[in-house]
Amino acid sequence: MDTLPFELRSLEVFLSVCDNGTMSAAARALGLTQSAVSQTINDLEQRTKTNLFDRDVRPLGLTLSGVVLRQRASALLADARQIAPLLQEVRRGRLPLIRVGLIDSFSRLLVPRLPDHLLALADHVSFVSGLTSSHVDDILGRRIDILLGVDEFDTLDGLETWPLIEEPYLLIAPPGTPPPATVEALAEMSRSLALVRYHPRRKIGVSIDRHLRRVGLELPRTFEFDTPFGVAATVARGGAWAITTPLCIFEAGDLIRHFICLPLPGPGFKRRLSLISRLRELARVPRETADFTVGLLSDELMPMIRTHAPWLESSIALGRQIRSGA
């Protein structure tokens, strides 16, 4: 196995020579002997297989290789000097940064309460929302630390998963719409009401389209939106219906007063949303964040369900209910 071409201490000696102009001056600044400084520089040049100083000029001049190393060494030592203070912060129960990705249907539930909660665990909290697939690339590429989204990544090594909610799909339609009891009745309803779809670039849109094909429904494409609010707002305006989920309805806020929730006829289907993070990298933060999110789902989402779709409550599982198979 190849070793690193330098140690941090040797970079510190190198930078001191750069700053002081001579090895003797650098030795005095560092409290070392001149021979120790000279030996460190010689060893560094041997390891990097290049000359770092032009010894024909006084004070010592840098070669092009030396210029590059000076630029990078300064950044490396600056980062290294931050490690001890950061570790002290972690000892006090805080991280320097937590980066979170979440799907749009979590936005109204979690913002701003989850950011405020995470500020007790980190000095800097960063959120991005949008497509689940791009967030997975980000978490594997270490651009985000936690993902709250669609759970379809159980087979990926190096990740830990904390289930948050398992929720069924349902219908939303204008007030007074008769509940369709069969798939055929759903097709008949589509002749008088336009189907509002989720955009197929969204996982929820793909899942709904797949379900419609499974039950043999080929319905016209009239409206498509890539956010739960867009879908719900179009149904609330009248003359349209949609297949959606309880959490997506919650995202629509007060718009729920302008439509009704109905059971989806035929074979039902569900989606599971989970918190996903890299395995054992954030200590207790993923578990605490998952517990906090489940608490919000229980306190905020479930009362809405009991008010507007009480028949649906027993079909929703939260947190440990999912892990235990309840």
Give the pLDDT confidence score for residue 141 in this predicted structure.
Answer: 81
Residues 68 and 17 in one domain: yes
User: Could you give the CA distance from residue 283 to residue 101 in angstroms, rounded to a whole number?
Assistant: 18
Beta-carbon-side half-sphere exposure of residue 276 (alpha carbons within 13 Å) = 29
Number of structural domains in the chain: 3
Give the pLDDT confidence score for residue 154 in this predicted structure.
Answer: 54
pLDDT digits (tens, 9 = 90+) for 38-75: 999 999 999 888 999 888 877 788 898 988 898 888 88
Instruction: Give, rounded to a whole angstrom, the gap between the first and last alpha carbons of the chain.
Output: 50
Mean pLDDT computed over every residue of the chain: 88
User: Could you give the CA distance from residue 217 to residue 214 in angstroms, rounded to a whole number?
Assistant: 8
What 3-state class would DSSP assign to 228? helix
Nearest to 145 by CA among 296, 294, 280, 322: 280
User: Could you give the CA distance from residue 227 to residue 229 in angstroms, rounded to a whole number?
Assistant: 5
Residue 2 within any structural domain of the chain: no
Residues 153 and 185 in one domain: no
User: Could you give the CA distance from residue 1 to residue 131 in angstroms, rounded to a whole number?
Assistant: 40
Tracing tokens 């270490």 back to the chain, one arrives at 142
What CATH number is given to the structural domain containing 293?
Answer: 3.40.190.10
pLDDT band at 265 (very low <50, low <70, confident <90, very high): very high
Nearest to 242 by CA among 274, 273, 201, 211: 211
* Residue ranges making up the domain that contains 192: 170-268
Q: Which range among 13-27, 44-58, 254-268 has the greatest average pLDDT?
A: 254-268
What CATH number is given to the structural domain containing 40?
Answer: 1.10.10.10
What 3-state class would DSSP assign to 303? helix
Evaluate the CA torsion angle 6, 10, 16, 22 in order and state its sign: negative
Give the predicted TM-score (pTM) of the model: 0.71
Residues 149 and 85 in one domain: no
